[in-house]
Amino acid sequence: MIYLIAALLRGVFKWAVLVSIVAVVLTLTVWSPGPNVESTRQAARTEPTAAPTATPEPTKTPAELADEAKYFDPQLLTSNAEGHIGENIFVQGEAQSVEQQGDYTWISIFAGVRDRPITESVVVELRPPEPDLLSAECDRFYAVIAGKTEARLVLTGATDDRPLVKAYAFEPSSRSDSSCRVP
C-alpha cells in the first residue's frame, strides 16, 4: 500500500511540476513586455503639460482692497456665512472682547445693521495683530468672509457658532449718540 501511495505522489508531483513550468512559460511569453510597452507605460504615467497661463495680477495692497470692500448685512452673515466665503466686505461694530493670539488679534464684535438698531455677534481675526486694539471701542474692519467658527461664552462656558471674517485692515469709527452705527 505504501508503494502505491508513493507512486501516485510521484505521478502527481510530476504533473504539478509540469503544470507549473507550463504556466510560467505561458505567463512569460504572453505577458512579457515588448520593447514598446515600457515607453507606453511611461507615457501614460506622465501628466499632460499645462496650457500656458496669463500673467497673474499684481497683489493689491490692503488699502486698495479696503476701497473695494462692500458693506455686508451682519444678519445675512449670521444666517449664511458659508454661502459668501471669500467676499471682500466691511463690518462695523463695538468690540466686546479682544485677545492676542500669536500671529493675529481675535475680536468678538457686535456688528451693526445699517439703518436699524440691531447688532449681530461676529468674530474677527485681524492680521497682522494689533496689540493696541481695545474692547468697547467702535471700529470698522475690512475683511474676507471665512465661514463660521465656534466661540465660547466666558461666563457660562457655552459654545455657539458665529460668523468668522478674516480682517486685513481696520479703522476706528466715530460714535453717534453713544452707539456704533453703520453709515
- For residue 79, pLDDT over 70 is answered with yes
pTM: 0.66
Reported confidence tier of residue 75, pLDDT bands at 50, 70, 90 = very high
Facing residues of 176 across strands? Answer: 179
d(CA 71, CA 93): 12
Tell which residue, 180, 80, 98, 97, has the closest CA to residue 139: 180
- Average pLDDT in the 143-156 region? 91
CATH of region 62-172: 2.40.50.140
Tell which residue, 61, 70, 106, has the closest CA to residue 91: 70
Residues 127, 167 contacting (CB under 8 angstroms)? yes
d(CA 87, CA 56): 19
Cα separations in angstroms, 97 against 32, 83, 100, 105, 117: 71, 26, 10, 10, 21
Reported confidence tier of residue 181, pLDDT bands at 50, 70, 90 = confident
12-65: pLDDT as tens digits = 555 554 445 544 443 333 333 334 434 434 444 445 555 555 555 668 899 999
For residues 28-63, one letter each, b for 16 or more C-beta atoms within 10 angstroms of the residue's C-beta and e for the rest, the string is eeeeeeeeeeeeeeeeeeeeeeeeeeeeeeeeeeee
Overall residue count recorded for the chain in this entry: 183
pLDDT at 92: 95
d(CA 182, CA 113): 7
